[in-house]
Amino acid sequence: MKKSTWIRLHLYCGLFTSFYLIAFGFSSLILNHQVELNHTEVTDTWDARIEVVGGKTDQELAEELRDQLSLMGWLPPWQYKRDSLQFSCVITHLAKDTQLELDLQSGAVQASEKPKGLLAVLHGLHFFNGRIPNAPFFCVPGSFTSGSLYSFFLSLCCWDYGFGSGTAIKPGSSTFSGGYSSFPVC
C-alpha cells in the first residue's frame, strides 16, 4: 500500500479511538485523585400515579415502579425501604439519581431528581458495561472497547509504517522504531 493510505488509516483509527481514550484518561484521574462526586441538591420534583398490585417482593415492586414510570436505570436493592404504607427506592444511572416514594394504598408517587454532574458521568463511564435497564436506545456493544483498543494498536502500527522507516516492526526487535519515536513493546 502507499504511504498516504497508511497515514489516512492512522488518522481514521485515531479519530475512532480518541473519545474512548480521553474519557478513560479523565475517569482514571477522577479515580486516582478522590474527587467529590456526590451532589445532594434536588433540582426537580414531580408527582405521578401508578397502579399498585399487592403481594410483590421489594425487587418486583421497584421494577414495576420503574417500568410504569418509563424511567431508566439500576435499582440498588440496599436502598429499598418498605413499611405497611410506603415503599421507597432509588433509580440510578450515569447522569442522575431519582428518589421515588410510593404510597402503597393510593398509588401516588413522589419523585425527586438529583443530577450527578459531568465528572460523575465520566467516572461512571470508566466501569460502564454498555447496558442500562429500560434504555432502549442506549446500548453500547461490549465489543466497542475491544474494537477501540485494536484500532488504537493498528493506528500505532500505521504511524510507524506511514511516518517511520517503512517497516512496522523490524525483525528481531522488540521495539517500534520510527522516524520520530522509539518505544518498547509490552
What does the pLDDT read at residue 115? Answer: 86
What does the pLDDT read at residue 10? Answer: 75
The rounded distance, in Å, linking the Cα atoms of 58 and 63 is 9
The rounded distance, in Å, linking the Cα atoms of 57 and 152 is 47
Predicted model pTM: 0.58
What does the pLDDT read at residue 80? Answer: 93
Number of alpha helices (DSSP H) and beta strands (DSSP E) in the chain: 4, 7
What does the pLDDT read at residue 41? Answer: 74
Q: Which residue has the cell 419523585?
A: 111
List the chain pLDDT tens, one digit each, 186 residues. 677 787 777 777 777 778 777 777 777 777 677 666 666 677 888 899 988 888 889 999 999 999 899 888 889 999 999 998 899 999 988 788 899 999 988 989 999 998 887 777 766 666 666 667 776 665 555 566 677 667 777 777 766 665 655 554 455 555 544 444 444 444
- Please give the helix or strand (H or E) that residue 134 lies within, else none: none
The rounded distance, in Å, linking the Cα atoms of 114 and 40 is 7
Position 144, amino acid: F
C-alpha cell belonging to residue 43: 433540582
C-alpha cell belonging to residue 80: 429499598
